[in-house]
Amino acid sequence: MDQIVNVDEFQELAKQALPKMYYDFYNGGAEDQHTLKENVLAFRRIMFRPRVLVDVSQIDMSTTILGYPISSPIMIAPTAMHKLAHPEGEIATAKAAAACNTIMIVSFMSTCTIEEVASSCNAVRFLQIYVYKRRDVTAQMVKKAEKAGFKAIVLTVDVPRLGRREADIKNKMISPQLKNFEGLVSTEVRPNEGSGVEAFASSALDASLSWKDIEWLRSITKLPILVKGLLTREDALKAVETGVDGIVVSNHGARQLDYSPATITVLEEVVHVVRGRIPVLLDGGVRRGTDVFKALALGAQAVLIGRPIVYGLAAKGEDGVKKVIEMLKNELEITMALSGCPTIDDITRNHVRTENERLRSML
């Protein structure tokens, strides 16, 4: 792994390691994949305003999320079916997260059971959930997570239906039976045509899910609830009014609605209406420590890393995931030092200049 110098290089290794069907499943976005590209490119249009002659001999990247300390504001996003990437699946990812002292959000569509992940190592973990038409299935998973010591529930709210992922349609992507749901619901689809994941999703997901259902979720768990998949100030305000415990600004890794905005471009409008009342996290397009810094400067408490984690896992298992997190941490540390920010709290809005600000200054 010595020759790998940045996170993007893991993608090529993953492509070599994985069957085409699985690589395309992880890599792909919706339709034209416009948002997929924009998630990454939008970060590149934000420039720094570095401050100099600040004592940066000691850099402290540590922070807390919902009161839980983490070594840096870099967390693991929920991504589906890690065993398609590596035989150890989510257990390897969980061990890497624990070793890096950060929080993993385990996917509802995990290929390892909640109990397997929980017993693999000691760490703070959250569970991401979907609400199924069969509410008892979702309720049972939430109960399992609570019993297994998970610390929060992350409700994904941007999937009333699955987005059109054309690679999965072409490849006739299979949907494997997931151990978490054995005896509850069959998740296995081996399609003659189209995407099996889409076929399963359309049969299982509850498209009637609405704000009032947050109350239902709160009635079945004492755990904090974060909503993942907001992109507007209107929905951010609704989330705060509904009393959720956190927001993840996300467009589902550009896998749902193509031409939805790159997440970093709408982070500020969400942060402005939330006004610090609850934590705001961001995912989508984070590939560099500089991206992490930019998200923090624009008001995020932490970022979640999705695809790069899966690529690290596919290429080198647990060590690959560790390496991805460590690389991003090292880059963030250098960015903080060169921007004159010894701690996370020192990173301010004044340390970055967005494209809008640049354009306005030209008027």
User: What positions carry a catalytic annotation?
Assistant: 252
Token pair 């997931």 is found at 178
How far apart (Å, rounded) are the C-alpha atoms in residues 304 and 67? Answer: 17
How far apart (Å, rounded) are the C-alpha atoms in residues 28 and 50? Answer: 35
Report the candidate in 91, 142, 93, 99 with the shortest Cα–Cα distance to residue 117: 91
- Residue 197 to residues 167, 191, 193, 362, Cα–Cα distance (Å): 12, 9, 12, 47
How far apart (Å, rounded) are the C-alpha atoms in residues 73 and 238? Answer: 25
* β-bridge pairing 63-65 and 68-70: antiparallel
Q: What angle do CA 224, 228, 230 make, to 5 degrees?
A: 125
How far apart (Å, rounded) are the C-alpha atoms in residues 81 and 223? Answer: 24
Backbone angles phi, psi at 4, to 5 degrees: -80, 120
